[in-house]
Structure 1
Amino acid sequence: MGRPPLIALQGFVIAARTGNLSLAAQQMHLTASALSHQIRGLEERLGRRVFIRGPRGVELTPEGVRLLESVGPSFESIDRAMQQFSAPHADVLTLSLMPSVASSWLLPRLPTFVALHPQLQLNLQSCVELVNFEREPVDAALRFGPGEWPGVHAEHLFDDWLTPIASPDLIARLGRPTLETLSDWPLLRDPENVWTKWFHTYGGKPPARYVAHFDDTETLHRAAIEGMGIALGRLTMARPLVDAGQLVLLSAHRLRAQFAHYLVYPPRSEKHPALLAFRAWLLDEAHRYTLAPALVAVRGKKRRSG
């Protein structure tokens, strides 16, 4: 059996990862029929099928799984090696963004940057997972976290703050709570249960039970909008909802969130012209944001509980 051409193996790897011959063909700048011909030739050389073709795409056969495990890492190594020699386009910036931060904080401000730099092209990728800068063609990312990620630069943008929020309908039904009566209201528990710290700092005690527990902030905010209860909302995400009249801030008191917002980028992006322009603008916008009255924490005296 002769050695199969590399283009056939490359097409196999991409098709295996995408699960779709048409998408794989587009990435390789081939027609779907041309790639299908390459895959058939590969299967003839191997004497066995590597894909099961269906109406919604392709699935690997057991032999295909074994082949992918054998040749896939080699193509990944080649991709990583080539990325070291490929200079980024000076006028193109690819950013990875958490959807919540993109929609609530960055996008409302982004038209200003576009107007200042009309020659630059922005490629925005929404993703909740951490970026692997060694494997992915991404120049930088906006992330909410501890600020300590190995092998990258992480520049602090701004802290986030937590404060009680509720829907106007809930307030219309039950009235407006005070610090003393807050624990008597229907409360929504956040992923880290910051309510415990809230009551420890500002007085009162946690309720005997929460109305519901949530494992992500966006769903927590949505439940508050629907009038399910009071949530400790993150101001970066909650402020646009307050401005839109969907939520109401119930207290001037704030708690600093455990994590903060950062601009993260690998060493290869340090001198990328588009990133330098975006970084300068972003740091200025972040500074303006931290000076906003809504983010000034009111330092209340700690009260005794009970």
Structure 2
Amino acid sequence: MPRHRPVPTRETNRRKKAAPPPQSPAGADRVSRRSSAGTAPRAAYRRAPLASLRVFVAVAEHKSFTRGADALGVTASAASMQVQALEEYLRVPLLRRNGRQVELTPQGALLRPKVEQALADLERAIDEARADRGSGPLRVTTIASFLAQWLLPRLPDFTSHHTGIDVQIHTSTELVDFVKTGMDAAIRFGAGSWPRLHVQKLFDEWLVPVCTPALLQRDGPIAEARDLKRYKLLHSTYEPWTAWLLEGGPDEVWPSSGAAFDDAIAIVRAAQAGQGLALSRWSLVADEVAMGRLAMAGRAVRSAHAYHFVCPPAHLALEKVAAFRAWLAAACARFPPPLRA
């Protein structure tokens, strides 16, 4: 029986090595190594725990697992597990639990601004990459009271001049995530501090005491606290009478007695029905005063908050957003302040 010739050791070793591609250039190995190194960051991005990073930023911002979890719509236990997983992933402690309060460790304080910036850049990139954002309806979010009392009566003027733009209005008292909800723009009521967004002030807000003209004629104007005793007061949790008396009191207060509402439109309707004297935002009653359904009973007090047009900077280039912003700015410029301001 023929015996097979043993293969030399040198040839065996060559066979174990992967043969280079045919006609490979001299520097192919170096290029291959560079390409492999160049793909490493992409793999790192795929491994980055984005969900845990978002939870970490939210908990750090609110200094509470419960409030941070509420902001993201998850449970506090889920948020705690996400942060714990991130700490294990990074092998450094990020948050220090101090009773109900949560504090950043030195490592967490160093990481937080970098993560916030990176997440903002990522959201902006995703938002800008949506090719269909320029088409479709214009989606605007605002608070319900402003929509009902100020925006809605004026909106036909915009739609009549921009027949090709369908307007969809969303109402919420919460700050809306533009990327997650697909909103194009917002009209927000506040101090105007919303980082990484385009913010344009529209007009100042005023707090004004209003009642029916008949009630004003019977009980007379008001100038100080003792004058309020002549009226049955209607209370609002958002615009308490202390804000008028002290020219800027607490943000939200339930009164100890008397009719009270936690709905800004409801208190306007109660005043229109002659049920008493109400303190309301000027934007909600200006049209009622102009039509004679309500009358100002005293001085107007400037609110600490104002109305602002808000959107991601990339949305300013969208034609439908630009058209709405220009129309809104012009409409707000024509809106007069209260006469007794």
TM range (shorter): 0.5 to 0.7
Which structure's residues are more often helix, by fraction?
2
**How far is the alpha carbon of 1:109 from its aligned partner?**
1.6
Partner of 2:157: 112
1:249 to 2:296 alignment:
yes
CA RMSD of aligned residues (A): 3.0
CA distance in 1, matches of 2:325, 2:146: 16
Question: Aligned AA for 2:277?
Answer: I
**How far is the alpha carbon of 1:157 from its aligned partner?**
0.2
Structure 1, residues 16-45: CA drift from partner, whole Å, max 9, x if none?
xxxxxxxxxxxxxxxxxxxxxxxxxxxxxx
8 Å Cα contact 1:187/1:210 also seen in 2: no
Structure 1, residues 174-200: CA drift from partner, whole Å, max 9, x if none?
432442552212222332565334334
Structure 1, residues 226-277: CA drift from partner, whole Å, max 9, x if none?
33321112111012333454422213x2101121111111133121111111
- Between the two structures, name the one with larger relative contact order (CA 8 Å, sep ≥ 6): 1
CA distance in 2, matches of 1:197, 1:227: 22
Pick aligned residue for 1:163 from 208, 212, 219: 208
Question: Aligned AA for 1:266?
Answer: P
Task: Point out the structure with max Rg over C-alpha.
Answer: 2
1:270 counterpart SS class: helix
Question: Aligned AA for 1:295?
Answer: P
Structure 1, residues 137-168: CA drift from partner, whole Å, max 9, x if none?
11001111121123322210001111111134
8 Å Cα contact 2:204/2:306 also seen in 1: yes
Pick aligned residue for 1:176 from 191, 213, 220: 220
1:264 to 2:310 alignment:
yes
CA distance in 1, matches of 2:246, 2:208: 14
8 Å Cα contact 1:90/1:273 also seen in 2: no
8 Å Cα contact 2:239/2:280 also seen in 1: no
CA distance in 2, matches of 1:134, 1:97: 16
**How far is the alpha carbon of 1:112 from its aligned partner?**
1.8
Partner of 2:284: 237
**How far is the alpha carbon of 1:136 from its aligned partner?**
0.8
TM-score, length-scaled by structure 2: 0.54
Partner of 1:85: 129
Q: 1:236 to 1:169 in 2, by over 3 A?
A: same
8 Å Cα contact 2:234/2:267 also seen in 1: yes
CA distance in 1, matches of 2:175, 2:188: 8
1:295 to 2:338 alignment:
yes
Where does structure 2 lack aligned partners over 5 or more consecutive residues?
A: 1-77, 79-122, 248-254
Structure 1, residues 73-114: CA drift from partner, whole Å, max 9, x if none?
xxxxxxx78655222134632111222111211122222222
Partner of 2:37: none
Partner of 1:219: 266
Question: Aligned AA for 1:262?
Answer: H
CA distance in 2, matches of 1:212, 1:128: 23
Question: Aligned AA for 2:265?
Answer: E
Pick aligned residue for 1:196 from 225, 234, 242: 242
Q: 1:235 to 1:295 in 2, by over 3 A?
A: same
